[in-house]
Amino acid sequence: MAKQVERCSFCGREKRETRVLIAGLDGHICESCVQQAQMILQEELLTEKQKEVPDFNLLKPADIKRHLDQFIIGQDEAKKIVSVAVYNHYKRLYRAKDRRDDEVEIEKSNIVIVGETGTGKTLLARTIARILNVPFCIADATALTEAGYVGEDVESILARLLQVADYNIQSAERGIVFIDEIDKIARKGDNPSITRDVSGEGVQQALLKMLEGSIVNVPPQGGRKHPEQRMIQINTQNILFITGGAFDGIEKKISNRLQTNKIGYKTDKKRQNIDKDNILQYITPVDLKAYGLIPELVGRLPIVTHMHTLDPVTLRRILTEPKNALIKQYVKLFELDNIKLTFDEEALDFIVKKSIEFKLGARGLRSILEGIMTDAMFELPSKTTTRSLRVTASLVEEKFQKTSMARLKVA
């Protein structure tokens, strides 16, 4: 009697045609069928996960601002404007569940935040997302180009949001996207470009439909590396887009519009009351258009707010007051090694002074602290006798002179 040939019970291939043939009670399965079964299972689990509707915390604007105050010092006007915009946006989603009144359709209001580097634009958006418990991602506009050119496609922004939401489409469709460095895609002049501007005006045009709300085909793993992958459709109607940028030089546009340099007998009294030290507070969509954003994009970013330049008092408070203040972080780091870390007031004043000199904002505080504390963080964990460290003004100044920043010329 001929020996029965072992073969896969699913595809029918014989054992010699497979790499691995797994035996069961009444059949066999090859490695190819195992892989296909795994793909089918993943798709089914993904579909089930997409059916789940996650909840998010909808807080009143005053409650949102109160939470922001715990992490962000100052910037009261920006926090108030963003809190109202976020509350109104997510209130739309609750209203969408009740379809009894469809006469008035509330449109979403995307936000643009203008401010110098280190003033807290990214921190503001990230804290908002954490408070509301919604997916949040940060995209860098400088890497974006038109489709087909070297760089990232605009759809890669949503791919990043989808990954943060663990590929739950319904959760991603209610998330927040922060597009940083939005000013870097501005066109050079106020007139339309004659030549092809694939990383400036072209990106702005590609962003239009996404910001307004449309169904976008998103490659979950990146379009160029995996062109054969199945696209995922995401509706951006309920995704809140917050954009931020330094808009270096926009102060001149605002000053020209306000005509702050005019003198004479007929000088407007209102013009004399303009605060020239904080000119960003007078920013309008007109100034964004003059800077190089196309009118269509400006129209899809109706809420414009600004971040104040950080003064010494605010920087000093940033060091110690927020829940995640830098000083608290360093104290916790040393505490993990059973070392008690303390800072003198004069030492903190020196750090703030250097941050202002180099015009680095709140980010500069971290850079300066890292340079000052590196030696202590390197040596003290190995020493069994030293269980405390007091950071004095003289110690800070001595350590700062050894850092690379000390050799820089102040602008």
Give the CATH number, domain containing residue 259: 3.40.50.300
Domain span including residue 177: 61-97+104-306
Is there a single domain that holds both residue 140 and residue 226?
A: yes
Is there a single domain that holds both residue 254 and residue 318?
A: no
The answer on pLDDT for 50 being more than 80 is no
pLDDT band for 302, please (50, 70, 90 cuts). very high
Is there a single domain that holds both residue 341 and residue 250?
A: no
Percentage of residues in the chain with pLDDT exceeding 90?
Answer: 25
Q: Which residues contact 312 (CB under 8 A, 6 or more apart)?
A: 352, 353, 356
Cβ(223)–Cβ(309) under 8 Å? no
CATH number reported for the structural domain that contains residue 358 in this entry = 1.10.8.60
Residue 141, in any domain of the structure: yes
The answer on pLDDT for 148 being more than 60 is no
Is there a single domain that holds both residue 212 and residue 359?
A: no
Calculate mean pLDDT across residues 280-302: 90
CA-based nearest residue to 155, from 229, 220, 238, 227: 220
Residue 399, in any domain of the structure: yes
- Lowest model confidence (mean pLDDT) among 145-159, 244-258, 295-309, 380-394: 145-159
Residue 4, in any domain of the structure: no
* Sign of the alpha-carbon torsion through 14, 15, 17, 19: positive
* Residue pLDDT, tens place only, 206-233: 888 889 888 888 877 655 555 556 788 8
d(CA 160, CA 163): 5
CA angle 307, 58, 141 (to 5 degrees): 40
The answer on pLDDT for 54 being more than 50 is no
N-term to C-term CA, the chain: 94
Calculate mean pLDDT across residues 380-391: 86
Strands 303-306 and 176-180: unpaired
Q: Which two tokens stand for residue 54?
A: 């996650």
- Most confident range (mean pLDDT) of 137-151, 269-283, 341-355 is 341-355
More confident residue, 116 or 104: 116
Q: What is the pLDDT of residue 223?
A: 53
> Dihedrals φ, ψ of 256, to 5°?
-65, -40
Strands 176-180 and 21-23: unpaired
Residue 10, in any domain of the structure: no
The DSSP 8-state label assigned to residue 231 in this structure reads P
pLDDT band for 330, please (50, 70, 90 cuts). very high
Describe the chain by its helix, strand, coil percentages, rounded to 5. Answer: 50, 10, 40
How many domains are contained in the chain? 3
Q: What is the pLDDT of residue 95?
A: 67
The answer on pLDDT for 264 being more than 60 is no
* Sign of the alpha-carbon torsion through 377, 382, 383, 384: positive
CA-based nearest residue to 291, from 184, 154, 181: 184
Residue 5, in any domain of the structure: no
Strands 340-343 and 176-180: unpaired
Q: What is the pLDDT of residue 53?
A: 46
Strands 21-23 and 28-30: antiparallel
Calculate mean pLDDT across residues 142-166: 79
Is there a single domain that holds both residue 151 and residue 265?
A: yes
Distance of CA 156 to the CA centre of its chain: 14
CA dihedral 320, 321, 324, 330 (to 10 degrees): 20
115-154 burial, b for 16+ CB within 10 Å, e for fewer?
Answer: bbbbbbbbbbbbbbbebbebbbbbbebbebbbeeeebbbb
Calculate mean pLDDT across residues 148-173: 82
Q: What is the pLDDT of residue 394?
A: 92
Cβ(358)–Cβ(311) under 8 Å? no
Is there a single domain that holds both residue 26 and residue 74?
A: no
Calculate mean pLDDT across residues 393-408: 83
The answer on pLDDT for 365 being more than 50 is yes
Is there a single domain that holds both residue 297 and residue 367?
A: no
More confident residue, 1 or 112: 112
Q: Between helices 326-335 and 312-320, what is the axis angle to 10°?
A: 30
Is there a single domain that holds both residue 43 and residue 65?
A: no
The residue from 306, 334, 365 where one domain ends is 306
Is there a single domain that holds both residue 346 and residue 397?
A: yes
The answer on pLDDT for 269 being more than 60 is no
pLDDT band for 360, please (50, 70, 90 cuts). confident
Calculate mean pLDDT across residues 322-345: 92
Is there a single domain that holds both residue 325 and residue 369?
A: yes
Q: What is the pLDDT of residue 229?
A: 62
pLDDT band for 355, please (50, 70, 90 cuts). confident
Q: What is the pLDDT of residue 65?
A: 92
Q: What is the pLDDT of residue 298?
A: 92
Cβ(10)–Cβ(33) under 8 Å? yes
The answer on pLDDT for 180 being more than 70 is yes
Is there a single domain that holds both residue 287 and residue 197?
A: yes
Residue 188, in any domain of the structure: yes
Q: What is the pLDDT of residue 243?
A: 93
Q: What is the pLDDT of residue 1?
A: 45
Mean pLDDT of the chain: 82
Q: Which residues contact 235 (CB under 8 A, 6 or more apart)?
A: 173, 213, 214, 215, 216
Q: Which residues contact 67 (CB under 8 A, 6 or more apart)?
A: 59, 127, 131
Is there a single domain that holds both residue 261 and residue 329?
A: no
Alpha-helix residue ranges (DSSP H) falling in 192-281: 201-212, 250-258, 269-272
The residue from 306, 331, 348 where one domain ends is 306
The answer on pLDDT for 38 being more than 80 is yes
The answer on pLDDT for 367 being more than 60 is yes
SS3 217: strand
Strands 303-306 and 28-30: unpaired
Residue 3, in any domain of the structure: no
The residue from 256, 276, 306 where one domain ends is 306
The answer on pLDDT for 353 being more than 50 is yes
Residue 294, in any domain of the structure: yes
Cβ(408)–Cβ(384) under 8 Å? no
